Amino acid sequence: MDLSIVVPVYNEEESLEPLIRETNRALAPLGKSYEIIVVDDGSNDGTYPILTRLHKTETCLKVVCLKRNFGQTAAVAAGLAHAQGQVIVAMDGDGQNDPKDIPGLLAKLDEGFDLVSGWRFPRQDPLWSRRLPSSVANALISWMTQVKLHDYGCTLKAIRSDTAKDLKLYGEMHRFIPAIAYERGARVAEIKVHHRPRLRGKSKYGIARTFRVVLDLLTVKFLLSYATRPLHIFGLLGLLTGTVGLLVALFLTAQKFLYGLDIGGRPLLLLAVLLIVIGFQFVTMGLLGEMLARTYHESQDKPIYAVKEILEARRAV
């Protein structure tokens, strides 16, 4: 199978049928074998009955039905896990992404990339509640992860199967897929794609998402940079605070014994004790982190690297 289209849907009864028709029309000229995997993320409207009806007529349609609403990230992860194509394209189920962009994504992928992400341009969403927070988030994520993209929020992207199967997604991390893939060694590119206003159904998100994105960014940044060496960050913080605390304590000790000053009531004494204790705690936390990192990798035989290719020796000398 050449291509798997993964579509997470939650209460999108009106959008599904037109979307599948449109996708078929966009993919037909490519002459590739493909499947459309619709992941029903515990919808409670007519989505499921419509999917069972479409499943009878659309031969390329595969339906993965989740037991309850697990959220978009989980739905995408379920779709990736069940995809059989060599290339996987993720796409929103509300019709805001345009399936006609898929050939463009695939062409870019063929230039030698492992992941091509869409950049919704121009973006058809409200300014204050969506485009503004989103542009701040994009700048922040690009800066912190070093993967510079204009649009992290775009679901429409094409990923090579080996890269996609390697992703472990939690929380609301589907938006960090390019950064996570990059950390695993994928070559990432971005191209402009069409974006359409939502014509049917309602958006599943509000402004509250912004805060969750920032929190998830912390997790991603930590995991990408320090997951295999937690002591480097916690130990550094611990050494810094501990050293400052120790210096302050020495200063106070000198004042007491050399000059006979009374240090019992000095706020500085509290600060010194606080810094030393925090310093110890940071270092201990880092050591615990090191143990967790080992448990994580060794318990599931998960290497700390990703191999691209091996050219075996053709002859033992």
Residues binding ligand UDP (CB under 6 A)? 8-10, 12, 41, 69, 71-72, 75, 92-94, 96, 203-205
| Shortest spacing between CB 91 and ligand UDP, in angstroms | 8
Q: Of these partners, ligand UDP, Mg ion, none, which one is at the site of residue 98 (CB under 5 to 8 Å by kind)?
A: none
Closest CA to 168 of 76, 230, 288, 299: 76
Phi, psi (degrees; rounded to nearest 5) at 195: -140, 135
Q: Of these partners, Mg ion, ligand UDP, none, which one is at the site of residue 35 (CB under 5 to 8 Å by kind)?
A: none
| Shortest spacing between CB 47 and ligand UDP, in angstroms | 9
Q: Find the helix or strand (DSSP H, E) in which 6 lies.
A: strand 3-9
Handedness of CA 243, 246, 248, 250 (dihedral sign): negative
41 binds Mg ion (CB under 5 A): no
Q: Of these partners, ligand UDP, Mg ion, none, which one is at the site of residue 295 (CB under 5 to 8 Å by kind)?
A: none
Cα distance between the two ends of the chain: 40
Report the residue number, 8 or 118, with the smaller CB distance to ligand UDP. 8
Q: Of these partners, ligand UDP, Mg ion, none, which one is at the site of residue 72 (CB under 5 to 8 Å by kind)?
A: ligand UDP
Rounded to whole angstroms, the Cα distance separating 89 from 104 reads: 12
Report the residue number, 75 or 105, with the smaller CB distance to ligand UDP. 75
| Shortest spacing between CB 50 and ligand UDP, in angstroms | 13
Distances (CA, A) of 195 to 98, 105, 252: 7, 14, 64
Contacts of 151 (CB under 8 A, 6+ apart): 117, 118, 119, 120, 121, 123, 134, 138, 190
- Convert residues 239-268 into a mask of x (bound to Mg ion by CB under 5 A) and - (unbound): ------------------------------
DSSP states along 290-312: HHHHHHHHHHTT--SS-------
Report the residue number, 2 or 13, with the smaller CB distance to ligand UDP. 13
Q: Which residues from 81-120 bind Mg ion, rule CB under 5 A?
A: 94, 96
Could you tell me where the beta strands, DSSP code E, fall in 83-144? 87-90, 115-120
Footprint of Mg ion on this chain (CB under 5 A)?
94, 96
